[in-house]
């Protein structure tokens, strides 16, 4: 904790919160599929003096002086992002994934235009048109769904019919809770047929694409990808917008991010993105991405062996969605609380067409990006899955819960969070 010595001395209250979180992360397992452990190098960049600098604009075109080093760092982030995702253009200034999607919509659409996106209870994200977002007051969101939640196949025929009927300007792929690969060619085909942009929100799987473990939507002709940088990509909290080849689109996006929606970019955060992208360009990152998938499959197999219903029947990516209410008569919320108490953090999640409400749904969602960073392999992941099932099955037995907590603590001490990822 020496790295926090100044906070410790000056502000014990904030120090206590940081110290508590450090211990929580060290002694428990993180299975929330949208979280990860960044390297010390990424954290150093994120806490660097670059936070002091105002640099509205883009490299070479700023509103204020003194930009020699900010230009250097933003250019590095852009060039590395382009290489990682085979993109011609990258905007690395968006502050998060939601901001990236908002900027993308405003750059491409007029008020009243239609977006065809994934149904939210079938895996889509809030920013893909949930009624609680302000976006739905401005744009018209229509939906596609899975044909069968037990296989995960998207109903592409219905999707095409909806597209022909509603004439969307954006056909949006991407998800927060969908464990399969999409048929990218179908999305692009439908988008082209109705004259829409093909956009994919790769927030969850960006690291898997960069690590070449799943397909790159640009290879199928998608026009744009929006993403977060802090999930499988293992960078600092933030967002990014990538354009495959159109200069016209890239210019619209840059203008919408700044000055359209945001002010001065957070240069410390952009420096941390550059460092994380540098890590993701190393060969070790491909091994990491491949292991994430193997680990998720190992966990899914254990759940299936216990006859627990998995949405889509399994996983081809980093996450798993289990219908614990249907299979073990425990609600998603109770499972989340129970597992948290034994040192396993995950989240309750709605399942397709859930009959229960979003605050206490039928499912749980969990994944392997963070424990794979901790160097867990299939054997350890299968053991964690086994412990999760036993914890839920024997929820009324305090001795069993205590023994599981102990075993998780012991696994955490054998697999400490690494400081370096290269």
Ligand X SMILES: Cc1ncc(COP(=O)(O)O)c(C=O)c1O
Q: Is 315 a catalytic residue?
A: no
Applying CB under 6 A, does 127 fall inside the site for ligand X? yes
Applying CB under 6 A, does 228 fall inside the site for ligand X? yes
**Residue 247 annotated as lining a ligand binding site:** yes
Q: Is 205 exposed, middle or buried (0-12, 13-18, 19+ CB in 10 A)?
A: buried
Q: Which of 54, 82, 360, 394 is catalytic?
A: 54
Binding map of ligand X across residues 10-39, x = CB under 6 A, - = no contact: ------------------------x-----
Give yes or no for a contact between 123 and 175, defined as CB atoms under 8 angstroms apart: yes
Q: Which of 53, 62, 180, 231 is catalytic?
A: 231
Q: Is 58 a catalytic residue?
A: no
Question: For 27, which DSSP code?
Answer: H
Binding map of ligand X across residues 284-313, x = CB under 6 A, - = no contact: ------------------------------
Rounded CA gap, 113 and 167, in Å?
9
Nearer to ligand X, 257 or 389 (CB): 257
User: What's the closest the beta carbon of residue 230 comes to ligand X, in angstroms?
Assistant: 7
**Residue 120 annotated as lining a ligand binding site:** yes
Q: Is 79 a catalytic residue?
A: no
**Identified binder of ligand X from the candidate list 53, 122, 125, 180, rule CB under 6 A:** 125
**Identified binder of ligand X from the candidate list 36, 80, 91, 97, rule CB under 6 A:** 97
Nearer to ligand X, 96 or 358 (CB): 96
By Cβ distance, which residue is nearest to ligand X? 97
**CA 412 from centroid of its chain's CA atoms:** 23
Applying CB under 6 A, does 213 fall inside the site for ligand X? no
Cβ-based neighbours of 248, under 8 Å, separated by 6 or more: none
Give yes or no for a contact between 93 and 104, defined as CB atoms under 8 angstroms apart: no
Rounded CA gap, 270 and 94, in Å?
9
Parallel/antiparallel/unpaired status of strands 57-58 and 197-201: unpaired
**CA 161 from centroid of its chain's CA atoms:** 30
Q: Is 160 a catalytic residue?
A: no
User: What's the closest the beta carbon of residue 96 comes to ligand X, in angstroms?
Assistant: 3
DSSP assignment string, 150-177? TT--B-HHHHHHHHHHH--SEEEEE-SS
Q: Look up residue 39 and give its two tokens.
A: 């390297």
Rounded CA gap, 60 and 186, in Å?
39
Applying CB under 6 A, does 174 fall inside the site for ligand X? yes
Q: Is 228 a catalytic residue?
A: yes
Q: Look up residue 20 and give its two tokens.
A: 């508590």
Neighbours of 39 (CB within 10 A): 21
Task: Give the total of residues touching ligand X (CB under 6 A).
Answer: 15
Give the CA distances from residue 258 to residues 58, 133, 244, in Å, rounded to whole numbers and listed in that order. Answer: 9, 22, 20
User: What's the closest the beta carbon of residue 87 comes to ligand X, in angstroms?
Assistant: 18
Q: Is 5 a catalytic residue?
A: no
Annotated binding site for (6S)-5,6,7,8-tetrahydrofolate: 120, 124-126, 247
Annotated binding site: 120, 124-126, 247
- By the criterion CB under 6 A, which residues form the site for ligand X? 34, 96-98, 101, 125, 127, 174-176, 201, 203-204, 228, 239
Catalytic residues: 54, 56, 201, 228, 231, 237
């Amino acid at each position: 904790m020496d790295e926090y010595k100044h906070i410790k001395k000056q502000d014990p209250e904030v120090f206590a919160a940081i110290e508590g979180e450090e211990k929580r992360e060290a002694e428990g397992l993180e299975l929330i599929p949208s979280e990860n452990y960044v390297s010390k190098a990424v954290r150093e960049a994120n806490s660097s003096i670059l936070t002091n600098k105002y640099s509205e604009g883009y490299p070479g075109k700023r509103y204020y002086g003194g930009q020699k080093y900010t230009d250097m760092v933003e250019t590095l982030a852009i060039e590395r992002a382009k290489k990682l995702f085979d993109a011609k253009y990258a905007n690395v200034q968006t502050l998060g994934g939601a901001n990236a999607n908002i900027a993308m919509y405003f750059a491409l659409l007029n008020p009243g235009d239609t977006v065809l996106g994934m149904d939210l209870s079938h895996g889509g994200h809030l920013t893909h048109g949930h009624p609680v977002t302000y976006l739905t007051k401005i744009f018209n969101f229509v939906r596609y769904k899975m044909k069968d939640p037990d296989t995960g196949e998207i109903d592409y025929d219905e999707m095409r019919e909806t597209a022909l009927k509603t004439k969307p300007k954006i056909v949006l792929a991407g998800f927060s809770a969908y464990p399969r690969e999409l048929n990218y060619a179908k999305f692009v085909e439908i988008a082209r047929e109705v004259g829409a942009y093909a956009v994919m929100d790769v927030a969850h799987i960006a690291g898997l694409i960069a690590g070449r473990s799943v397909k790159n939507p640009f290879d199928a002709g998608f026009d744009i990808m929006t993403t977060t940088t802090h999930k499988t990509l293992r960078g600092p909290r933030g967002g990014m917008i990538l354009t495959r080849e159109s200069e016209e689109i890239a210019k619209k996006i840059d203008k919408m991010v700044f000055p359209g929606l945001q002010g001065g970019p957070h240069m410390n955060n952009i420096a941390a993105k550059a460092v994380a992208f540098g890590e993701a360009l190393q060969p070790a990152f491909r091994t990491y991405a491949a292991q994430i998938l193997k680990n998720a499959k190992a966990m899914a197999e254990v759940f299936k062996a216990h006859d627990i219903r998995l949405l889509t029947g399994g996983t081809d990516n980093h996450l798993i969605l289990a219908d614990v209410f249907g299979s073990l008569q425990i609600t998603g919320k109770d499972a989340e609380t129970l597992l948290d108490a034994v040192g396993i953090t995950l989240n309750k999640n709605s399942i397709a067409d859930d009959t229960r409400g979003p605050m206490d749904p039928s499912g749980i969602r969990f994944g392997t990006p963070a424990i794979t960073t901790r160097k867990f392999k299939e054997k350890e992941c299968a053991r964690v899955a086994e412990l999760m099932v036993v914890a839920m099955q024997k929820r009324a037995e305090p001795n069993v819960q205590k023994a599981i907590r102990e075993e998780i603590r012991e696994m955490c001490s054998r697999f400490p969070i690494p400081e370096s990822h290269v």
